Amino acid sequence: MSEFNFLHKVLPTYTKGIWRMSMREVDSYLRKIDHFFRMDEIKIESKESRLDWAELIEADVDPEISRFLINMDRIAHETKYNLFLKSSASMIYSAFENSLCFVAQAVSDVAGIKNNVKRFKKRSGDKRFVGSIGNYALYLIEVHKVAWDDLDELWGRIDSFRFVRNCIVHDGGVLDVESIPFFDEISTHESGLSRDGGLILMDFFYLTQIVELMKEFFEALCLRLDGRVFIK
């Protein structure tokens, strides 16, 4: 019993270390790559400014060709940046999914419960919990009796991000007619998320807010593990 009295005290710290490692790497990657694109944007703007100045002073340049080449640079830049944003949405979701799985498994390992979280068959039909992340959440609720009520709001936004991510990964970021009303409801509450017809648009701010939201969720979840006593 003394062993578990000790372990339950370190469980919040232990699980926090698990998710922080993964989410910190995602956060660092996003900011580094975004910085690269910001610098590329500055270079393109500099070319545009130099061309504008050359036209103003009537320098010996061919403005039509120069403008065409700069526009090609900008199109390539925007295409690559949008691809970065959408691929990052998938990466962020995967990091969250893996982190939640590892946290759920860690609780069982500390409790001495020989379950494999990935093989867990949920009993609940609660529609708030779908996909792999829903399965891991229900594992914590059903097996370890983790209180979830105060996590509902955060979880709802994360599940909405799951919907957006699935549209990007499975449908190329194109919404079908039936999905548009639900997407519009989500985007109303999420800055940096919108659509152009059926095409999903997002900016870097939206992704960073999702990462911060996931960090907040894990912080709150780990608090639910504080003071838990496991009986061998």
Domain span at residue 192? 2-224
Q: What is the pTM of this model?
A: 0.83
Cα–Cα distance measured from residue 56 to residue 84, given in angstroms and rounded to the nearest whole number: 36
Average pLDDT over residues 96-104: 91
Report if residue 110 sits inside a domain: yes
Report if residue 121 sits inside a domain: yes
pLDDT of residue 146 exceeding 60, the answer is yes
Average pLDDT over residues 148-167: 94
Q: pLDDT, tens digit, for every residue of 210-229?
A: 999 999 999 889 888 765 54
Write the CA distances from 185 to 60, 152, 219, integer angstroms: 54, 17, 27
Chain mean pLDDT for the chain: 85
pLDDT of residue 181 exceeding 90, the answer is yes
Task: Determine what percent of the chain is predicted with pLDDT higher than 90.
Answer: 46
- Other C-beta atoms closer than 10 Å to the C-beta of 114 total 7
Report if residue 232 sits inside a domain: no
Give the residue, 160 or 116, on which the prediction is more confident.
160
How many distinct structural domains can be found in the chain? 1
Report if residue 52 sits inside a domain: yes
Give 14's pLDDT tier (boundaries 50, 70, 90): low
- Other C-beta atoms closer than 10 Å to the C-beta of 144 total 17
pLDDT of residue 8 exceeding 80, the answer is no
Give 143's pLDDT tier (boundaries 50, 70, 90): confident
